[in-house]
A and B are shown apart, each in its own frame.
Chain A
Amino acid sequence: MPPPLIGSSKSIEKIREFIDHIADTGLNVLITGESGVGKEVVAQSLYYKSQRKNKPFIKVNCAALPEGLLESELFGYERGAFTGAVQSKRGKFELAHQGVIFLDEIGDMPRPLQAKLLRVLQSGEFAPLGSEKEVTADAWVIASTNQNLGENVKKGLFREDLYYRLNIIKIYIPPLRNRPEDIPTLIDYFIEKYASQFDRNKISKPDADAMEKLMAYSWPGNVRELQSILQSSMVIGNWEEVVDDLSIKDKPDVNSAPDHKGLDKSLIVDTLFDLKNENSPGHASFSLKKIRKETMNIIDKEVISYVLNQTGWNRTKASKILQISYKTLLYKISDLDIKQQREL
């Protein structure tokens, strides 16, 4: 049975609906989202909903292994291919034949390997290390990353052609802080899940006060962190202590978390002094007018980017939210060089 995709928020409901529509297409899927949001759960849901569910589901963590080892893991090797290769070994792609290969942390895959992966995606063929014979594998590729692959492409860290080929279908899982309504449902689910491992008498649901704090917390580790907090509460036997341990005092506002860090006062001042060397406080004078303009641009850029990302770059909706005309919005996008993050 697949681990269920828990949550009653709109975004999770939409992901569930989406999975139902695309699980049988066999098209490459890229799942994005912060660490701990449940990317593997989504990958497994896709697998279990597909016609490949009785075939292998093979997971490879692309960040966990050095390049050479990752290559031999993915594509296998022939006997004698390298020192210590005393017998040949089949790679994960071959093992995933007719099933799924889940490439976790694809953003960390070294560039030379990206070329080999691209070839597999184009033709389904590859040669194991030390072999001249091509092997064919029909594996459904589901990849995941917590990185912005679009940005990595711009920085030259990720191949553009591979990015487009992986990005045929994309699923973005929002962080838990953006969907606090999922927290009570997740807590109910985990309590039920762990009930058999702990003293049932010790298990209690958080009271209204604790739940309020839990829903206000920023959950940087997302669902994984919630899961671990819940296990602690079961060991300790009460919620109060656990909830107090959360760094509530550091809690960012639910709507503002890291997206708004650009608005941090000291950061803005530092940035401006960096940008305008002539405005450095070391100089005899600096223009307040220029600083004001730069500051307004930074704020405009942050806020417009945030709203555009929230609306999926729907410019009409964004202009309504921002209460500016559509034309002004287009002008700002161009003037402030606001770029679309294609992950979403």
Chain B
Amino acid sequence: MLIKIEKTNYDSGLNKMDKPSKLLIVDDDEEIQSTLKDFLIKKGYEVFSASDGLEGLKLLETEEPGFDLVITDLVMPNISGVGLIAIIKKKFTGLPVIAITGWGEHPEALASEVQADQVLEKPFGLSELEKSLKKLLSSKFDI
């Protein structure tokens, strides 16, 4: 099991302007992608998803208004999560990123080096993810 399913209270993902925060999930594993997406939509967030780094980058470049936060896997085809985070930190300043790591892969150090705001190791609880998410979003909107 990659994600621990837990009972959660479905509240709202509204930001301080009472609009749902816009999230981008990038993961080549469709199961994880859809689990996260379903959970976060139920929590009231506006959620977009992409299956690899390039698809994610294209959404980042074209979506208006831009995203409030990105959740990305690290080991993926074409642009790795580490690459995507590096690009985000250079081109989309201030956009927080949560990196999630997979089975026995060890690029976490690289993720921190390119300044991922949070690194979560699988398996992680959905409540843990939401906690990180809320914390990062609130500091983003506090600025």
Bound CA span A316–B33, Å: 12
Bound CA span A170–B107, Å: 15
Among A17, A22, A164, A315, contact of B107 (Cβ-Cβ < 8 Å)? A164
* Contact, CB under 8 Å: A312 / B83: no
Bound CA span A195–B82, Å: 45
* Contact, CB under 8 Å: A315 / B82: no
Q: How many interface contacts (CB-CB < 8 Å) are there between A and B?
A: 53
Contacts of A165 in B (CB 8 A): 110
Binary interface profile of B, 66-88, with partner A (CB < 8 Å = 1, else 0)?
00000000010111101100110
Among A164, A169, A316, contact of B79 (Cβ-Cβ < 8 Å)? A169
Q: Is B46 an interface residue (CB 8 A)?
A: no
* Contact, CB under 8 Å: A168 / B82: yes
Known contacts A21-B58, A25-B87, A314-B51; A164/B30 CB under 8 A: no
Q: Is B126 an interface residue (CB 8 A)?
A: no
* Contact, CB under 8 Å: B83 / A168: yes
* Contact, CB under 8 Å: A315 / B29: yes
- Nearest residue (CB) in B for A28 is B83
Among A164, A170, A316, contact of B106 (Cβ-Cβ < 8 Å)? A164
Binary interface profile of A, 138-172, with partner B (CB < 8 Å = 1, else 0)?
00000000000000000000001000110111110
Bound CA span A174–B42, Å: 41
Q: Is B117 an interface residue (CB 8 A)?
A: no
Please report the total number of A residues contacting B with Cβ < 8 Å: 22
* Contact, CB under 8 Å: A21 / B51: no
Bound CA span A316–B75, Å: 18
Among A160, A170, A314, A326, contact of B78 (Cβ-Cβ < 8 Å)? A170
What's the least CB distance linking A125 to chain B, in Å? Answer: 16
Name which of A18, A25, A344 has the most chain B CB atoms within 10 A of its CB: A25
Bound CA span A18–B86, Å: 16
Q: Is A313 an interface residue (CB 8 A)?
A: yes
Q: Is B16 an interface residue (CB 8 A)?
A: no
Among B57, B58, B86, contact of A168 (Cβ-Cβ < 8 Å)? B86
Q: Is B121 an interface residue (CB 8 A)?
A: no
What's the least CB distance linking B122 to chain A, in Å? Answer: 15
Chain B interface size band reads 20 to 34
Bound CA span A315–B31, Å: 9
Bound CA span A342–B110, Å: 17
Contacts of A18 in B (CB 8 A): 54, 78
* Contact, CB under 8 Å: B106 / A160: yes
Q: Is A27 an interface residue (CB 8 A)?
A: yes
Contacts of B52 in A (CB 8 A): 312
Contacts of A326 in B (CB 8 A): 31
Bound CA span A165–B87, Å: 15
Known contacts A21-B57, A21-B58, A164-B106; A27/B77 CB under 8 A: no
Bound CA span A312–B51, Å: 10
Known contacts A21-B54, A313-B28, A315-B31; A171/B78 CB under 8 A: yes
Q: Is B140 an interface residue (CB 8 A)?
A: no
Q: List chain A positions with a Cβ less than 8 A from chain B.
A: 17-18, 21-22, 25, 27, 160, 164-165, 167-171, 312-316, 326, 342, 344
Q: A21-B54, A25-B90, A169-B79 are in contact. List 8 more A-B contacts (CB 8 A).
A: A18-B78, A25-B83, A164-B110, A169-B78, A170-B80, A312-B52, A315-B30, A316-B30
Sample of 30 A–B contacts (CB below 8 Å): A17-B54, A18-B54, A18-B78, A21-B54, A25-B83, A25-B90, A27-B83, A160-B106, A164-B82, A164-B106, A167-B80, A168-B80, A168-B82, A168-B86, A168-B110, A169-B53, A169-B78, A169-B80, A170-B78, A312-B28, A312-B52, A313-B28, A314-B28, A314-B51, A315-B30, A315-B31, A316-B31, A326-B31, A342-B75, A344-B77
